[in-house]
Structure 1
């Protein structure tokens, strides 16, 4: 369970200690919770260059400004005082890595008051949806909580679950996913379990799926499944996340390519990559322009479909996708061909050699794509001819394929001669008869 921590602004200062002369006046005032007197003494003593010659100079400054940052009477200066205290505390840690002075009852309040100040201000930012600022503050909360736990100051361990949870959520919210994974992993590795909230584990599974890190993907998926056995999320494969993990096309393709690169003989991964490109090229929304790199994507898709066909020769899906893709290209080229033919016919005897060549080139391009489509469809038709009985989906596929093939052989047979004409005529009749039988 994530532990709930109650923060408070005023802290009881305990005990007295002996201190160096130049810090005594500041420390005495802090001990009595008299911040105005402490500030006057600090401004006087810190003017001496030797004030910061010892780590104590920095920790006493941190303690003073940390207390001021929680003073409700000085709310307008809270941000400035908090930042000043944090800067001083960081310098203290550099000067005294063992942080021995935090054993002093006065100085130990510096990190705790800073922790309280950043936590409260971070929560206020969350409430106003200022997530960037909230995240910056919770990074400090986590760092301070680690110090408090290590030094056994008012905070139980092994980590501050609340602070790390907020830091992870906020990091993900502001798109700093690498940093989010760091905080989430600290929680997950301790098997922190919030019964109705598996966010931490889901985030890690998605993150490592995107990183193509199989070991950590499986690790956190297993932890999630162990702690949240009823959630279907932790049964998804890495491929599932690559396909559905992003609505951004480029990101989805990049994720799928990583999987194919790491597992080149994974049929499902190859097919998923090809299908994603097919949807972009051939099933785009009306009015959506083709991507600028459409030719590159097409080359990649066809190569991947051919690879998928070699990996699983009995599956028709790669053939159907290639057939549909080339047919869509042929249909677009048919419009160009018909326009050139209409223009040539309209001119009649006045049609120039350039007009005729334009039509001939358009027809050649059309037939080339149509032939590629029919080549894939014939292979699929041969596979379907061996299926008995056909289910409704297969019957529908067979019907459409047969119609396309009958139409193709009729078209190419019109200009054929001799043996080719007889061959195309026989194939047209074969597929037309099949088409009618399946209707």
Structure 2
């Protein structure tokens, strides 16, 4: 019995002796010839050692640029052999005995080829190479075959995710970003990993995933602006009633920050852009937006954007009233133009009374409109002036702040021009005051660069 075992062992060793010799001499094409011959024998196909040598040889052919071109299927053949070997020898005993060179060849070459494809913007091809790089780097790091003690190769995983992202394959990209995020990786630009996962789960309407990666992002990058993503989730996944209820709930609980008040205000003021919304609903949400903007300003009275948003919303109210006023003037002109000429004294008196009633109704309506308009422009001027005062001496200003201050002075100038018209010929002192203000702000048009 012992003799039989010895004979089998010698036979097995002899099956791969030439293969092994050629590998150690780095004669990989000769080694390929020998391993192909050996693996053609059915008995060798049942031996893990055969797949070990085949994977190592074909990996070396893939690693060398010349033989890679000569044997274009080497990488697929190597990959299949590695997988078969791992199935037959889960403990990787032969690797530990003979060396992990093949794994390093597959990792380094796949990564290098992937980088070249990535630079050429061939993202589908790059992603396939980086996937292999991740597979083989995992073997290397898991088994501690490299000097590095890190648990995985961050760079390969990151490039794999980048490639899938650029190839417009977010589901695949997320698999790799998830692995990095759950290990709480940090580094320059790595905050975008967590942001990508948060955005992905927002689009997928996955509240559990959203909350998970928001929490991880906040933990490892607490200085990043995560509130924008929270509002974005609400905006995309809640209907108007849900947004309103959530705002009211958080407002009552005192959990809304300056930024969230501002963002909820933006949500509410945008209702006017939705299809099929009636004017009463638009007005309701404009006023809810004002409430949110005022509370943002209450949290920080240097928030020029919040002040501007209050002012411009009231300015829009004024424009709506002014349009009504202008429409009534047109009606009045039409009534006067179509007034019939009646000579019969009896009929004339009745017609005059009817005409006067129509004219008086419009004049009374416009008097009421003018009162509301004046109230709106006064409030608008107050808040736009706050925005102006906050920004006029600020340096440097962001592009948004430049836009806000330039619009503020234009709107304020328009308001005083309107007020001049209301008192013209009625109150000279007020007219002069309004004219001076108009000239002051009109002179500032487009001066804030």
Aligned to 2:175: 182
Of 320, 323, 326, which residue of structure 2 is paired with 1:404? 323
Shift of 1:64: 0.9
Task: Indicate if the aligned counterparts of 1:65 and 1:82 stay in contact, CA closer than 8 A.
Answer: yes
Aligned to 1:85: 78
Aligned to 1:36: 29
Q: How does 1:264-303 map to 2 (within 5 A)?
A: 265-266=245-246, 272=267, 275=270, 278=273, 298-299=275-276, 302=277
Q: How does 1:28-427 map to 2 (within 5 A)?
A: 28-77=21-70, 79-106=72-99, 108-154=100-146, 156-195=149-188, 197-231=190-224, 233-240=225-232, 256-260=235-239, 263=242, 265-266=245-246, 272=267, 275=270, 278=273, 298-299=275-276, 302=277, 314-315=287-288, 393=312, 396-407=315-326, 411=331
Task: Give the gaps of 5 or more residues in structure 2.
Answer: 1-9, 248-262, 291-309, 339-350, 375-417, 419-449
CA distance in structure 1 between the partners assigned to 2:358 and 2:89 by the alignment: 90
Taking a change above 3 Å as real, the CA distance of residues 20 and 144 of structure 1, as seen in their structure-2 partners, is: same
The structure whose RCO (Cα within 8 Å, separation 6+) is larger is: 1
DSSP-derived class of the 1:194 partner: coil
Shift of 1:89: 1.5
DSSP-derived class of the 1:49 partner: coil
Taking a change above 3 Å as real, the CA distance of residues 394 and 130 of structure 1, as seen in their structure-2 partners, is: closer
Shift of 1:87: 2.1
Aligned to 1:21: 14
Shift of 1:160: 1.3
1:231-252: CA deviation from partner (whole Å, max 9, x where unpaired): 4x3342333468xxxxxxxxxx
Taking a change above 3 Å as real, the CA distance of residues 395 and 58 of structure 1, as seen in their structure-2 partners, is: closer
Task: Indicate if the aligned counterparts of 2:38 and 2:44 stay in contact, CA closer than 8 A.
Answer: yes
Taking a change above 3 Å as real, the CA distance of residues 79 and 204 of structure 1, as seen in their structure-2 partners, is: farther
CA distance in structure 2 between the partners assigned to 1:92 and 1:276 by the alignment: 62
Aligned to 1:9: none
CA distance in structure 2 between the partners assigned to 1:217 and 1:72 by the alignment: 44
Tell which deviates more after alignment, 176-185 or 268-277.
Answer: 268-277
Aligned to 1:381: none
Shift of 1:147: 1.9
DSSP-derived class of the 2:152 partner: coil
CA distance in structure 2 between the partners assigned to 1:422 and 1:87 by the alignment: 96
Taking a change above 3 Å as real, the CA distance of residues 273 and 182 of structure 1, as seen in their structure-2 partners, is: farther
1:311-349: CA deviation from partner (whole Å, max 9, x where unpaired): x694378xxxxxxxxxxxxxxxxxxxxxxxxxxxxxxxx
CA distance in structure 2 between the partners assigned to 1:277 and 1:92 by the alignment: 64
1:432 aligns with 2:362: no
DSSP-derived class of the 2:168 partner: coil
Superposed CA RMSD:
4.1
Taking a change above 3 Å as real, the CA distance of residues 237 and 121 of structure 1, as seen in their structure-2 partners, is: closer
1:115-165: CA deviation from partner (whole Å, max 9, x where unpaired): 111011112222323222111110111122222222222263312111111
Shift of 1:202: 2.4
CA distance in structure 2 between the partners assigned to 1:18 and 1:188 by the alignment: 50
CA distance in structure 1 between the partners assigned to 2:81 and 2:283 by the alignment: 65
Shift of 1:30: 1.5
CA distance in structure 1 between the partners assigned to 2:316 and 2:91 by the alignment: 74
Task: Indicate if the aligned counterparts of 1:27 and 1:38 stay in contact, CA closer than 8 A.
Answer: yes
Taking a change above 3 Å as real, the CA distance of residues 31 and 273 of structure 1, as seen in their structure-2 partners, is: farther
Taking a change above 3 Å as real, the CA distance of residues 192 and 429 of structure 1, as seen in their structure-2 partners, is: same
**Larger Rg over CA atoms:** 2
DSSP-derived class of the 1:204 partner: helix
DSSP-derived class of the 1:121 partner: helix
CA distance in structure 1 between the partners assigned to 2:354 and 2:217 by the alignment: 64
Shift of 1:258: 2.5
Taking a change above 3 Å as real, the CA distance of residues 52 and 269 of structure 1, as seen in their structure-2 partners, is: farther
Shift of 1:51: 2.8
TM-score (norm 1): 0.59
